[in-house]
Amino acid sequence: MSWPNDPVLVRTPATSANLGPGFDSLGLALSLFDDVEVAVTGEELSIEVDGEGAEVADRGERHLIVKVLRHTFDVLDELSAAEGAPIMGQPKGIRLRCRNRIPHSRGLGSSSAAIVAGIVAARALHPGGKLLGDEGAFRLATEHEGHPDNVAPCLAGGLTIAWTGAAGPRLVRLKSRVGHVIAFVPEQRLATERARGLLPETVPHGDAAANAGRAALLIAALTAGLDPTVLLDATEDRLHQDYRAPAMPDSAALVARLRAAGVPAVISGAGPTVLAFTTASQVDSMGPEVGNGWHEHPLDVATRGARVMAGEAQVRH
């Protein structure tokens, strides 16, 4: 059996994790997308990147999507062997074309989008792709990312709760009644590893208890469409945002200004992007609170996760 000749095009959404008190558990898919086209060829590896991450197009086999593709092909061969299905081996050549719109190192899940794109593309290309179900894809994505909070909404869409139990990573998808958000994206980047390095080993019991209550309230506020003042209370965090503030003082200050104006605002993921549960029209009237130096992205909650775009045009550069 041979590899398919036609490329596959995968679209993956941006994601925002934590959402304030839901540290390492809550995630939201957003309507900002990367498009990744993958084809198996008889030639050498070829990578083209347009937009965010263009500077890493020359990483070759070390490129994140390529590494995930290769690993997923190996996993699918193992599953195929167990089922007595054809084993494909690694293809000689891969042509990868990316149109990246998700800002890198800004807390909007760019690495999760890349990981998920590689897994979904590999499943679409490999004859044994159906042997890796959604739960298996989620486990594999979590293995690459290291934690499940961003890959969960990237795969499932909407609002997700992710956790790791005895059987490995799991997720629940919920329908969010909050449809619109604004992402305030700064120019500067912040590596997730640096942001995590600022967190303490322990936190006061009172702070942990407060966050548990706020996280529960946040789920209710997002899924039941509660009063906006409830959402403001529900997005209060004591576990990570203040500890990370020294690495992103402008973002922390913007969160404080927006919240003082009654807007439920949080650090998106590890930052430094700020996510506000509000509308573009409301933000237009809040110029003094927002200030300068931010790229404003009015976004919807993406109800669908990563998917193969059947019949769509190829990625063009």
Which residues are registered as beta bridge partners of 155?
Answer: none
Tell whether 106 is in a known binding site.
Answer: yes
Residue 244 backbone class (left: φ over 0; alpha: ψ -120 to 50; beta: rest): alpha
> Strand pairing of 93-100 and 46-51?
parallel
> Helix (H, G, I), strand (E, B), or coil: what is residue 264?
coil
Tell whether 141 is in a known binding site.
Answer: no
* Residue 162: both structure tokens together: 């992710």
Tell whether 180 is in a known binding site.
Answer: no
d(CA 214, CA 199): 19
Tell whether 186 is in a known binding site.
Answer: no
* Residue 180: both structure tokens together: 């619109």
Tell whether 71 is in a known binding site.
Answer: no
Tell whether 107 is in a known binding site.
Answer: yes
Tell whether 304 is in a known binding site.
Answer: no
Tell whether 105 is in a known binding site.
Answer: yes
User: Is the Cβ–Cβ distance between 48 and 317 less than 8 Å?
Assistant: yes
Tell whether 253 is in a known binding site.
Answer: no
* Ordered alpha helix ranges (H), the chain: 64-83, 110-125, 134-145, 151-156, 192-197, 205-224, 228-234, 241-244, 249-260, 280-284, 287-290
Phi then psi for residue 181, to 5 deg, are -140, 165
* Residue 194: both structure tokens together: 């640096």
Tell whether 103 is in a known binding site.
Answer: yes
Tell whether 110 is in a known binding site.
Answer: yes
Residues 6+ apart with CB under 8 A from 186: 106, 248, 250, 251, 272, 273, 293, 294, 295
Residues in binding site for ATP: 103-113
Residues in binding site: 103-113
